[in-house]
Amino acid sequence: MSAAVAERIDDDLWSAIGDPTRRRMLDLLLADGDGTSTTLSGQLPVTRQAVAKHLGVLDRVGLVRATPTGREKRYRVDDAQLARAVAQLNAVGAAWDARLQRIKRIAEAIQRSQDG
Amino acid sequence: MEFGTIEREIYIEADPEVVFEVVSSPDHLEQWWPDEARYDPVPGATGDIVFGERDAGGTVVQFAVVDAEPPRTFSFRWTQPADEPAVEGNSLLVTFELTPARGGTLLKMTESGFREMGWEAALLEQQYLEHATGWDFYLPRLAPYVASLEVRP
């Protein structure tokens, strides 16, 4: 996969997570193990059609995987892709860890010079 | 499950007044984050921070002070488009909260807005991480080099 393609997927991945209804759906799928448009819409204040549309978005970025069962598709969270999204955010956290260490060093040096 | 917010805490052996100066004043910001910072550390003030050189291909990023209550709270928004006021949805919000603790200061930092901003903001952050790592690599090497210049006759 080229870097440009990887970047685009990351972008879509983030937009997919960016929606509160879709995040709620991921929470429900993680809690229940799996779900369909019907079971999810029963637990959310949105129509089955809207849920199906959101599931389509999550499916396209690989955050959920569908298996056809009877009339409806059954969805599960893709753990690897979810871990990937979380890891990207962790990189941002690491940037702040480095900044906070520098803030600590600077402030403590100032304090020592004032006390001395 | 919480996406899009980063929370960190660090204990600093310095008074809240000192820590507040370090997290809020543009001169100090330049010591721990961007190469250049231009803003007044007062609520509502706007300015920018620069990574690299302003006139030589550096990245200029918008910066707006949201709250400044010495020595307790300092918060700002950044990454908003240059022609837009900084609001939720177009920028990342960074908040520093300072609490006196054990003769020093407990500094709590939160950065939020990633879920509204989308992935570009996180990529931007990662870019700055690499930038910061670069300085961590070069600075320790620079000091002995400068010292070696000084001992020359």
Residue B111 — pLDDT band, cuts 50, 70, 90? Answer: confident
Residue A11: per-residue pLDDT: 62
Residue A88 — pLDDT band, cuts 50, 70, 90? Answer: low
Q: What is the pLDDT of residues B2-44, one digit of tens each?
A: 456 778 889 999 999 999 999 999 999 998 888 899 999 999 9
Which of B3, B25, B93, B102 is the mutation pick for testing A, counting most A CBs within 10 A?
Answer: B3
Mean pLDDT (chain B) is 80
Residues 92-111 of A with CB under 8 A from B: 92-104, 106-108, 110-111
Which residues does chain B have within 8 Å of residue A12's beta carbon, measured at their own beta carbons? 119
Using alpha carbons only, give the angle B138, B141, B147 rounded to the nearest 5 degrees: 135
Full-model pTM: 0.62
Residue B117 — pLDDT band, cuts 50, 70, 90? Answer: low
Q: Which amino acid, residue B74? A: F
For residues B38 and B27, the answer to whether their CB atoms sit within 8 Å is no
CA distance B24 to B30: 11
CA distance B12 to B4: 26
Mean pLDDT (chain A) is 82
CA distance A38 to A72: 8
Residue B125 — pLDDT band, cuts 50, 70, 90? Answer: low
Residue, of A54 and B144, whose pLDDT is higher:
A54
Residue B142, pLDDT above cutoff 60: no
DSSP sequence for B9-58: EEEESS-HHHHHHHHH-HHHHHHHS-SEEE--SSTT-EEEEEES-TTTTP
* 3-class secondary-structure state, position B71: coil
Is the ipTM higher than 0.90? The answer is: no
Residues 103-132 of B with CB under 8 A from A: 105, 107, 109, 111, 114-116, 118-120, 122-123, 125-126, 128-129, 132
CA nearest A14: which of A66, A75, A91, A86? A86
Residue B133: per-residue pLDDT: 46
Residue B153, pLDDT above cutoff 60: no
Residue B10 has its nearest CB partner, among A7, A17, A100, at: A100
